Amino acid sequence: MTIGVVIRDFDDAFFGSMTRELQRLSHEHGFSLLLTGFDSGRKRLDTSSLLRYHLDALIICGSDTCAPWIKPFVKKGLPVVQIGSGGIYPGINRVEMDEEYGVALLLDYLSSLGHENIGFIGDNTNQHQRRGQIVSALMSGKGLKLKKALTVFVPEGKNAGMKAMKILFRRAGKNMPSAVIAADDSMAQSGLRAIHDFGLSVPRDISLTGIDDIPSASLMIPSLTTVRSPVAMMVRAAFDLVVKKGA
C-alpha cells in the first residue's frame, strides 16, 4: 500500500513529529509513503508528484489545507483523511485535537495562579483565529474578558510571535497582562524573545503559554507551559481510517 502524505509546513516542528509517527506506522505495516507539501507561502501545492503515482490513500497533515486541489484524489475514490481542524470538505474524514478542552486546561491552570488579565497572540491563519475565539469564549465563561488591546494577530511568517508580542506590549502600556497565551508553541518561542527585549523575565514578570508541546518546548529556559497535542493518537486514528477504507 502506498500512502500519499501532504505536509502543510515542513519548517514547523509540529509536523516533524507527525511525519515521524507516520513513517513508524508505515514501516510497521510494510507500506510506502510519498511526501509532498506546500510552498513557503502555503499558497501552492505541487500535486503532480502525487498524481503521477498510483496512490492507495492520502493523509493531509495540517489545518485548513483542504481546497480545490483535493478534487482529483476524491474523484478517484481514494480514502482521504486530514489531521487538523478546518471546514467540512466532501469525501474527506478528519481527525483533530479537542482544542476547546486543551485551552480550558490552560485557563484553569492560569486561573489557579491568580491570572485574570490575560493576553493572546497569534498569526492570521484560520487555526490561530479559532484558538483566539476559544480563549475569548472560555474566559467569558469564567467572568473574565479577553481585551481587544491584548489580542494581537499578525501575518503568518518568520518571527510572527516576536512581532505580535511587541505590538501587544505597545498597546498595553501600563496595563500589562500578567500572562499571555500564544496560539502555538512556535509563536510562544518567538514571543519570548520580545519579552527578553523588553527587559522582562518569565515567569517572574509575566507568564507565557503555548499549545501543541513541540519537542523544543521543553528546551526553553524555563520550559514552556503548553498543552500537548495527542500527535501519536491522531496519526494512528488517521492511519487506521485510510487502511480500513483502502482495504
Helices 99-112, 126-141: axis angle to 10 degrees equals 50
pTM summary value: 0.88
Cell of residue 142, nine digits: 469564567
pLDDT of residue 170: 95
- Residue corresponding to grid cell 485548513: 64
pLDDT of residue 246: 58
Q: For the chain, what is the radius of gyration of the CA atoms?
A: 19
pLDDT of residue 73: 87
pLDDT of residue 65: 76
What b/e string do you get for 205-230 counting C-beta neighbours within 10 Å, with b at 16 or more?
ebbbbbbbbbeebeebeeebbbbebe
CB atoms within 10 A of CB 63: 21
Q: What is the pLDDT of residues 8-64, one digit of tens each?
A: 888 777 888 889 999 999 999 999 998 888 765 555 677 777 888 888 999 999 888
pLDDT of residue 204: 93
> What residues contact 175, with CB distance under 8 A and at least 6 apart?
117, 149
> What residues contact 182, with CB distance under 8 A and at least 6 apart?
120, 121, 122, 161, 188, 191, 208, 209, 210, 211
> What residues contact 56, with CB distance under 8 A and at least 6 apart?
1, 2, 3, 78, 79, 242, 246
pLDDT of residue 136: 97
- In contact, 181 and 106? CB cutoff 8 Å: yes
Stretches where the chain sits below pLDDT 70 are 39-44, 246-247
pLDDT of residue 220: 85
Mapped onto helix, strand or coil, the DSSP state of residue 26 is helix
